[in-house]
Chains A and B, each alone.
Chain A
Amino acid sequence: MRLSPFLLIGCVLLGACQAHDQPAAAPATVQVRDDLGRSVTLPAYPRRLVSLAPSMTEMLYAVADTSTIIARTQADDYPAAVLRKPVVNSYPLDIERLVTLHPDAVFTVEGLTPPDAAERLRQLGIPVYYQKYRRVGDVLRGLITLGRLLGRDAQARRLTDSLQRQLHALATCPAPGARPTVLALAAADPMYAYGQNTLFTDEIWLAGGQNALRDSLPQPYPALTREYVLKLNPEVIIGGRFGKLDSTLFRQNPELRRLRAYQKRRVYATTPNLLQRPSPRVVEAVQELRALLAR
């Protein structure tokens, strides 16, 4: 077979372009340790990405080339563009569907993907990388790490610098006594709240308040009794509009109407999926909390 000189030149040029994007000296894979301490072998520049958690999807959309995100989970809803991606069920994990998509790497967060599913995927040649977030700083660090793993350092750095600037602009240091105590309910019947070891504790601190749940309980979202909440007597409750909680939580438990939050009607709803989702919108969550506290 004879090669056309134009085709030959085209191939050389294309090869040169690819060599520019991914240096020839770059290794094909890299060995990294994820946030759970697991050793993970990832392609040096994964080009087919799947997230198995809505928060991680938001993280990837903020850092990765969005055309490299090849699927979404049934729970993903932000950003809106993600809704156009094919769906992979994350719980229970649809391993067969995932395998047919041939991802280079799967990204997820602690607690949302069972470790045995991750091990099964590893055996099938699909590496799974976990991140975990306890503080707002962990989210920013997570973005930087994703940027490094995906070869998008500059994009990640620009984003985190911007988020950091927004956080600095919010920075206030009220005296601990001046910080209102805020109880964030994850559910009202039974009452579950965001515990000390959740991202909310840091978010509300940055917003100028403090998590009313100061006891270090073993669960991230502990169940609470009415007596315990009565003793906490929070100044603000987050978990639903005043009217909604008045007809459910406070109606079922009239003794809770003695709480300062109820007396002063400082009972608020937040944007769905904003507080509980560690993502680049974490600063937006802090801003929203700050606006609620200022009411």
Chain B
Amino acid sequence: MSSPHPLRWLLAFGLLTLGLLGLGLRVGSYEVSYAFIFDTLAHYHPADPAQLALVELRLPRLLLAWLAGASLALSGYLLQTLVNNPLADPYLLGTASGASLGAIVAYLLVPGLVVAGLYLPPLAALAGGLGATVLVVAIGTRQGRVRPAVLLLGGVAVGALAAAAGSLITFLKADQDSLRTVVFWAFGSFERASWAGLGWPAAVLVGSLGLLFCLQKDLNLLLLGEERAQALGLAVVRLRWVLLAVAVALTSGVVALCGPIGFVGLVVPHLTRGLLGAAGRLNLVACAALGGAFLLAADLLARLLYPPAGLPIGLVTALLGVPFFVSLLRKKF
């Protein structure tokens, strides 16, 4: 029996996303019907708190969840291709641990959390994530060439160092309340979503997809291994740098906004390849679409299971993702 055409999968992921968006818009502290949702979208009155909650809080939250899922899944796909290792995920470059360290520094060491009128935690998370990534890339490259194995080990080492530094600061400085804040941040959350915060991850995702669509064939060649890819005329060094830059851009913004959300970037690329084949033409778009739908589903489940704030999203992605992942592994290997 032949597997469905990739376009059908893409259509299915799109419909799944629409369904989840529809369901997600109904779940929250204000009970709303579909008629109310349509009415709000057609004639928005911000003076009505239920309409305000729907448009200013729920919709950006759902869109951020989708963007985060799509970005992390795509980033995971790229890094698995880059290092040619199925264990790679978006946090391979130490981004999550670095961002967590940045957030911990802001929450525990900066009284008032505001410097020069800027709210520090997301900026510190971005700086921490990028800082750790730059360090890992410096370790994993020599004479302009990316060395995947060293990059992988460097990521583990820098990640462990950042995690230890964060734990040390937490141990020395955290009281009961700030400890809660730091722990909550580490689980990941979409609660900080706002329309203003969606522009950057959306632009990075669209730009990355556009760029990668042009490089799809090169990516498939890279999967054959460095030597064979080079023999077939691929500029491996340049491609690796491009992949690295795109993966960093995709991951760092999401981590700064949502905290480190695990498993989606590991599981979804494998799921995509399992469904569409290892080197499908639409793999990248499908991976992003599936990642988005995956985090939308996880967020919906989190809010349904444990209102009002929902279960930590990182727990739900693990609970949802791992059984899928294990069943996929058993079929594949």
B residues 15-40 in Cβ contact with A at 8 Å:
28-30
Q: Which residues of B contact A190 (CB under 8 A)?
A: 181, 184-185, 189, 191, 309
| A192: chain B residues within 8 A (beta carbon) | 177, 180-181
Contact status A227-B121, CB under 8 Å? no
Given A224-B309, A225-B191, A227-B28, A244:B112 Cβ within 8 A: yes
A172 touches B (CB below 8 Å): no
Residues of B within 8 A of A217 (CB): 308
Across the interface, do B308 and A224 meet the contact criterion of CB distance under 8 Å? yes
Query: Are B113 and A231 in contact, CB atoms less than 8 angstroms apart?
Result: no
How long is the Cα–Cα vector from A40 to B191 in the complex, in angstroms? 45
Q: Is the CB of A227 within 8 A of B180?
A: no
Which of A217, A255, A276 has the most B CB atoms < 10 Å from its CB?
A255
A225 touches B184 (CB 8 A): no
Q: How far is the CA of A228 from the CA of B28 in the complex (A)?
A: 8
Residues of A contacting B119 in the complex (Cβ-Cβ under 8 angstroms): 247-248, 251-252
In the assembled complex, which residues on chain B have CB atoms less than 8 Å from the CB atom of A248? 112-114, 119
B145 at the binding interface (Cβ < 8 Å): no
Q: Is the CB of B49 within 8 A of A231?
A: yes
Q: Are A231 and B181 in contact (CB under 8 A)?
A: no
Taking CB as reference atom, which chain A residue is nearest B310?
A225
Within 8 A of B (CB), among A52-108: 75
Chain B 112-148 interface mask (CB, 8 Å, partner A; 1/0): 1110010101000000000000000000000000000
A214 within 8 Å of B by Cβ? no
Among residues of A, the one whose C-beta sits closest to the C-beta of B259 is: A190
Q: Mark B201-243, 1 if CB is under 8 A from A, else 0.
A: 0000000000000000000000000000000000000000000
Residues B87-134 near A (CB distance < 8 A):
107, 112-114, 117, 119, 121
Say how far B44's CB is from chain A's closest CB, in angstroms. 14
How far apart sit A31 and B113, CA to CA, in the bound complex (Å)?
A: 50
Residue interface mask A176-190, B partner, CB < 8 A = 1: 000000000011011
B52 within 8 A of A: yes
Shortest beta-carbon distance from B304 to chain A in Å: 13
A223 touches B309 (CB 8 A): yes
Q: How far is the CA of A255 from the CA of B192 in the complex (A)?
A: 12
Chief secondary structure at chain A's binding surface: mixed
A187-B177 CB under 8 A given contacts A227-B29, A244-B112, A258-B49: yes
- The residue of chain B having its C-beta at the shortest distance from the C-beta of A190 within the complex is B184
Interface residues on A, range: 20 to 34
Cross-chain pair count, CB within 8 angstroms: 78
Given that A225-B308, A227-B29, A231-B30 are known contacts, is A252 also in contact with B112, CB under 8 Å in the complex?
no
Selecting from B53-61, B71-79, B262-270, B279-287, the interface stretch reads: B53-61
Whether A187 touches B192, Cβ cut-off 8 Å, given contacts A227-B53, A248-B119, A255-B52, is: no
Does chain A have a CB within 8 A of B178? yes
* Contact assessment for A228 and B175 in the assembled complex, using a CB-CB cutoff below 8 Å: no
Choice from B117, B177, B185, B189 contacting A186 with Cβ under 8 Å: B177
Are A228 and B29 in touch, CB under 8 angstroms?
yes
Minimal beta-carbon separation of A200 from chain B (angstroms):
14
Assess whether A187 is in contact with B181, with CB atoms less than 8 Å apart: yes
Are B30's CB and A227's CB within 8 A?
yes
Q: Are B56 and A255 in contact (CB under 8 A)?
A: yes
Cα distance, A36 to B36, chains bound together (Å): 49
Known: A186-B177, A189-B181, A255-B56. A228 touches B308 (CB 8 A): yes
Say how far A170's CB is from chain B's closest CB, in angstroms.
Answer: 27
Query: Which residues 158-198 of B sit at the A interface, judged by CB distance below 8 A?
Result: 175-178, 180-181, 184-185, 189, 191-192
Q: Is the CB of B57 within 8 A of A187?
A: no
How far is A217 from B307 in the complex, measured between Cα atoms in Å? Answer: 9
Instruction: Tell me the bound Cα distance from A23 to B180 in angstroms.
Output: 49
Cβ of A226 to closest chain B Cβ, rounded Å: 6
The docked-state distance in angstroms from the alpha carbon of A192 to that of B53 is: 19
A239-252 Cβ-contact flags toward B at 8 Å (1 or 0): 00000100110011
**How many angstroms between the C-alpha atoms of A215 and B29 in the bound complex?**
12
Q: How many Å lie between the Cα of A41 and that of B49 in the bound state?
A: 57
CB of B323 to closest CB in A, whole Å: 26
Instruction: Give Cα A187–Cα B29 distance, bound, in whole angstroms.
Output: 20
| A106, chain B: closest CB distance, angstroms | 20
The complex places the Cα of A230 from the Cα of B308 at a distance, in Å, of: 12
A255 to B29, CA, bound (A): 15
Nearest to A217 among chain B residues (CB) is B308
29 contacts across the A-B interface (CB closer than 8 A): A186-B177, A187-B177, A187-B178, A189-B121, A190-B181, A190-B184, A190-B185, A217-B308, A223-B184, A225-B29, A225-B57, A225-B191, A225-B309, A226-B57, A227-B30, A227-B57, A228-B308, A230-B49, A230-B52, A230-B53, A247-B114, A247-B119, A248-B113, A248-B119, A252-B119, A255-B56, A255-B57, A258-B49, A276-B176
Give 7 closest A-B pairs by Cβ, nearest first: A223-B309, A228-B308, A228-B29, A231-B29, A227-B53, A227-B29, A187-B177
Report A's interface with B, CB cutoff 8 A. 75, 186-187, 189-190, 192, 215, 217, 221-228, 230-231, 233, 244, 247-248, 251-252, 255, 258, 276
Known: A192-B180, A222-B308, A225-B308. 15 other contacts (CB 8 A): A187-B181, A189-B113, A190-B309, A221-B180, A222-B309, A224-B308, A225-B57, A226-B53, A227-B29, A227-B53, A228-B29, A230-B53, A233-B49, A244-B112, A248-B119
